[in-house]
Amino acid sequence: MTIRTAIAIALATTALPGCATAQQATPPAAHTAPAVDASYLDRKPSEEIVYFVLPDRFENGDPSNDTGDFTGDRLATGYDPTARGFFHGGDLAGLTGRLDYLEGLGVTAIWFAPIFQNKPVQGPAGDESAGYHGYWVTDFTRPDGHFGTREEFAAFVDAAHARGMKVYMDIITNHTADVITYADGAETNFEYRSLGDYPYSTRGGPDGEAINTGFMGHEDSSEENFAKLTDPNYAYIPEVPEAERDVKVPAWLNDPIYYHNRGNSSFTGEDSRFGDFAGLDDLFTEHPRVRAGMIEIFCDWITETRVDGFRIDTARHVDPGFWREFVPAMESCAGEAGIPNFHMFGEVYKDVPDNGYIAEYTRRDGLPAVLDFAFQAAMREIIGREQGTVVLAHMFDGDVLYEGGEDTALTLPTFLGNHDMGRFSTLIREDMPDISQEELLARVMLGHAMMLSTRGSPVVYYGDEQGFVGDGNDQRAREDMFPSQTGEYNDNVLIGTDATTADSNFDTDHPLYRLIAEFSAIRRAHPALTRGLQQVRHYEQEPGIFAAARFDPDDGTEYLAVFNTTAEERSANIWLNYEARGLETLAGSCPAAVSAPGSAAFTLPAFGWALCRVSEVAE
């Protein structure tokens, strides 16, 4: 039975009595991609060098779509390029037109923030913002009009594939836009109402009217059980405003029965899974209809556009049973579409250099990979907070905790900063308020050199290669690459350049762009750096030297990556295999020969590095 047949059966058998009937969306016209060299499909996830971009902030290729499908002022269209929380005009056409720039950087996979149709503006009066980031979805079946059409998206994917670049979509299954309100009144502030205080079996608390007779709770996701959940009024009384009654697509998403409706999450304990994420409508992902519907939505994106992977937003806020159905279904869809190395990685936020917490999502939930927040935290500790390089060594020791162990760790997307927590440069400046621009640049360059040399699939956050330094996290870390009209961005002092964000920032001669391009080329040329297992060779209790070996997966050739995290020249003897006699320099400065069998002496400048290939012949 094909995955499409399974989906059709699931959808047919989960039409619940008393619930809105799902409307069948008109399927998009079949897309025929031009013939390209398909060898890019053979690359494993660990071989990718990823560029993460918010399309709205990258390049405006088509000003005619700046206001999307809307007319009126900024509260109607969401467009205001002077305000950091509104649409600025970047789009799919702009992203497609800058593929030369990304190819020159060494990028092999483009991951972009969600491009689905969003509610244009949300928020209380006077504090509104727009869905430029893509996380307030109303229509899961098409791109937001601010970004372009489905045909333009297909053209972008084709253009990327023609260059051997993969495309990763950012997807959401946890929530939709904030549409559902509660009749209970604003005075409640919609605080989370727990399972114990507000069971599914009564209306408004244990002493309330009996409802949903026979429903055994969310832990039983069978169709038979959920057929008995017919009343969503157990905690709050959900309402859908008349003007937005049919705004969500597919149409089944408009029925409140498919949402938890328990109020806002505090992101701890029970409410982390069952509460609304900052007011966004939290999907009842235990419900078989929700599971089948999400599988249908995202299987269609795979088969119709041939994308190469999914970054999964807010993965830790979804029940594990959902992932245990969703992941195999997506793998099956990709297999039927002829995409052999389809990659999925979940966002499991944890700001500590300990991979135990994020690893559990690869074991219990069955996610193939997770964003490597542990790596990010360790890099901030050793480069921004001047902790000993032992922190990074201990983090890498935890790779055995992932399902699949060190092989899985190779596939984890590693990163230094992002659109939520802020840029790496910003985090370092936050940790070191008095740092000079020169030292900030040096530390950021060191971070990228380390990320591009150690295990994992490195992710470059757009603008970092142009020396962007934001004012903080979230909206303050989402500057425009094309000339910005946002004053809060344009007064930022960038590193490695005299430009500001008021300029167009696609400088291929920027020192960070050149560094990333250099290390990307080295990484792609040496399988040890993409598919080779890693062994830590040196670390210190204080800031200083860190070294790791990587091994060619085919012939076992050893490579050494050595780094200095201090502002002074440092030396260390690094152990290597006893047959080693010479070291070939790939980047930085490597000694020509070993000091003795099993040892090589390295001297590195402040914030310096050495990337070497080991040979059994003295150079």
For residues 193-221, average pLDDT = 97
- From CA 38, how far away is CA 339, in angstroms rounded? 10
Mean pLDDT of the chain: 94
- pLDDT at position 437 is 98
pLDDT above 70 (res 154): yes
Judgement on whether residues 198 and 277 belong to the same structural domain of the protein? yes
β-bridge mates for residue 564, sequence order:
545
Is 407 a domain residue? no
Question: How much is the pLDDT for 535?
Answer: 98
Predicted confidence band at 411 (pLDDT cuts at 50, 70, 90)?
A: very high
Range of the domain at 498: 415-525
In this structure, are residues 537 and 576 in contact, taking their beta carbons and an 8 Å threshold?
yes
What pLDDT was estimated at residue 253?
Answer: 98
Q: Residue 163 — pLDDT band, cuts 50, 70, 90?
A: very high
Q: Which of 286, 313, 465, 480 is catalytic?
A: 313
581 in the same domain as 504: no
Averaged pLDDT, 88-107: 98
**pLDDT over 70 (residue 481):** yes
* 389-404: average pLDDT: 98
Domain-ending residue, one of 284, 299, 322: 284
Establish whether 244 is a catalytic residue: no
Q: Is residue 37 part of a domain?
A: no
Residue 30 lies in a domain: no
Q: Quick one: pLDDT band at residue 10, thresholds 50, 70, 90?
A: very low
Contact indicator for 524, 49 with CB cutoff of 8 Å:
yes
The reported pLDDT for the residue numbered 618 is 74
Residue 53 lies in a domain: no
**3-class DSSP state of 33:** coil
Same domain, 521 and 421: yes
Same domain, 187 and 204: yes
pLDDT at 445 over 70: yes
| Cα-trace Rg, the chain | 25
Same structural domain, 555 and 520? no
* Co-location of 252 and 224 in the same domain: yes
Q: pLDDT at position 617, please?
A: 79
Q: What angle do CA 439, 427, 372 make, to 5 degrees?
A: 115
- pLDDT grade for 22, boundaries at 50, 70 and 90: very low
Is the pLDDT confidence value at 256 over 90? Answer: yes
Per DSSP bridges, beta strands 309-312 and 166-171 are parallel
Contact status, residue 464 vs residue 419, Cβ threshold 8 Å: no
Mean pLDDT of 542-557: 98
Res 35: pLDDT? 64
CB atoms within 10 A of CB 539: 20
Q: Please report the pLDDT score of residue 21 as a whole number.
A: 31
C-alpha distances in Å from residue 463, one per residue of 102, 119, 467: 11, 26, 7
Distance CA 325, CA 365 (A): 10
* pLDDT for the residue 14: 41
Number of domains, the chain: 3
Q: Answer yes or no: 276 catalytic.
A: no
Asked if residue 559 is part of any domain, the answer here is: yes
Give the pLDDT band of residue 47 (cuts 50, 70, 90).
very high
Give the residue, 259 or 186, on which the prediction is more confident. Answer: 259
Q: What is the mean pLDDT of residues 553-560?
A: 97
Q: Lowest mean pLDDT: which of 3-12, 557-566, 581-590? A: 3-12
Judge if the upstream peptide bond of residue 340 is cis by omega within 30 degrees of 0.
Answer: no
Let me know whether 534 and 514 are in one domain. no
**For the chain, first and last CA: distance in Å?**
59
pLDDT value at residue 31: 53
Domain assignment present for 257: yes
Which CATH number is 533's domain given?
2.60.40.1180
Mean pLDDT across 488-509: 98
pLDDT reported for residue 228? 98
Do 425 and 515 lie in one domain? The reply is yes
Average pLDDT over residues 550-554: 97
Residue 186 banded pLDDT, cuts 50, 70, 90: low
Flag whether pLDDT at 104 surpasses 70. yes
* Residue 491: Cβ within 10 Å count: 11
Catalytic residue among 300, 347, 381, 558: 347
User: Please, which pLDDT band fits residue 479 given cuts at 50, 70 and 90?
Assistant: very high
Bridge partners of 587, per DSSP, are 611
Q: How confident is the model at residue 236 (pLDDT cuts 50, 70, 90)?
A: very high
pLDDT reported for residue 593: 95
187 — pLDDT class (breaks 50, 70, 90): low
What does the pLDDT average to over 37-53?
96
- 456 shares its domain with 443: yes
Top-confidence residue, 184 or 164: 164
What share of the chain has pLDDT > 70, as a percent? 94
Residue 180 has pLDDT above 60, yes or no: yes
Residue-wise pLDDT for 596-617, tens only, equals: 999 999 999 999 999 999 998 7
Residue that is last in its domain, among 525, 552, 578: 525
Question: Of the given ranges (266-270, 328-332, 487-491, 501-505), which has the lowest mean pLDDT?
Answer: 266-270
